[in-house]
Copies of this chain bind each other. A is one copy, B any other.
Amino acid sequence: MIIESEPMGSTTYDLNRVRIVGIAAELFARNSYHGTGVAELSKAVGLGRGALYHYIGSKENLLYEISKTQVDQMNAQAERLLAAGLPTETLLRELAKGLLHNIAEHQFEWAVFFREYTALTGENRDRVVAARERYESYWRQALDRGAAEGVLAPAPRLLVKGILGMLNYTYLWFEPDGEVSPDELADAYLDALLDGIRQR
């Protein structure tokens, strides 16, 4: 028996769903979740309200999907990288590049994720918060591993928050068509972080 939690098939139904989620992400990012009406969304996707609900189930369901998808991908990637046995510095740089790539490609979704997760209720909220904490734990593991190997100074717990803040903040200002690529930015941040910005 094969279980597919997310069909991702090529059916038009799935394609429509994906399209709707993308449009909703942009609207929620621009006008906030509570500030975006279902009527507005309906108009933007070019479907009547009835047809729209045929796909989305509920408005909160849409928010949940937007919020969850990207962080799940980042968790999967972080697990792969942690298991790959990379040198600590490479591991950190790859983690950062993965995250910045994803943020650059899905700025709307990350804006919604960071700003609107409080609008989720019950289990939806719990799951998103848990996924977020899980991702943070992967960074902590990477830093701890570096410290154990003597490559990094034993870092205070709080530094993880600082690094993630540094990286996450890019959702707000990064210009995908700008001069700096996500990779270059990740390396620049890690150069500063690993060796400091003091002139030597």
Q: Which residues in A have some Cβ–Cβ distance to B below 8 Å?
A: 30-35, 114-116, 118-119, 147, 150-153, 155-156, 158-159, 161-170, 173, 180, 185, 188-189, 192-200
Contact = CB atoms under 8 A, between A and B. Distances in A.
B195 A196 contact: yes
Closest 7 CB pairs of A and B: A165-B169, A34-B34, A196-B196, A195-B196, A34-B35, A162-B166, A166-B166
Main secondary structure, interface of A, reads helix
A4 to B, nearest CB: 34
27 contacts: A32-B33, A32-B34, A32-B118, A32-B119, A34-B34, A34-B35, A35-B119, A114-B115, A115-B115, A147-B199, A153-B198, A153-B200, A155-B197, A158-B180, A158-B188, A159-B192, A159-B197, A161-B169, A161-B173, A165-B166, A165-B170, A166-B166, A192-B193, A193-B196, A194-B197, A194-B198, A196-B196
A165 B172 CA distance: 10
Q: How many copies does the complex hold?
A: 2
Given A32-B32, A33-B34, A158-B188, 14 more contacts: A30-B118, A31-B118, A33-B35, A151-B198, A151-B199, A152-B197, A155-B192, A158-B185, A162-B189, A165-B166, A165-B168, A192-B193, A194-B197, A196-B196
A77 B158 CA distance: 25
Contact of A167 (B31, B153, B165, B170): B165
A169 B162 contact: yes
A172 B164 CA distance: 12
A197 B35 CA distance: 42
Nearest to A114: B115
Contacts of A161: 169-170, 173
